[in-house]
Amino acid sequence: MMNGSTIIRFVETGIPDFASRGIQETLELISSAYNARRTVNGTLRNIARPAFSKYSLSYQCEDHDVIPEGLMRPGTIITVHCLTELSTAGALPTPASSWTGNVRPIVPGSLREANGLIYYRPIIAAAVTGFQVQRDEWGATVSWTLNLEEV
């Protein structure tokens, strides 16, 4: 947390940095990342190609105005500085900035090491796959959901 705001960042949306309080992020692998088949011996194997190890992202927010209409259309590409950390086993080299074990760009300042794991927040280019907005007249609140899939 920074100044009472989340540290998530939507680059092309017009939402100012640190103005996205209350956004909840869900990050999960796309369904194509898992294609299970059993061998003749009955062992379960994932035969999905590594290229399908992409993420889908979902955001829910109740504390900010709606994202501009042109940016919520399906297929629009948005660069997201994710809130969720990813991790991998290992130790950071000296200097840490020389670490090359990630496959996605890293949010500046998010790289850290703890308990034999390297943690980082990825920067993901993703396409809009869905958008929903709700307005509560009596409560004078706006809430929205944004669904994205990594390109």
Beta bridge partners of 60: 24, 145
Is the whole model's pTM more than 0.75, yes or no? yes
Distance CA 123, CA 119 (A): 13
pLDDT at 13: 57
pLDDT at 149: 94
Residues of the chain with pLDDT under 50: 1-6
pLDDT at 67: 67
pLDDT at 140: 78
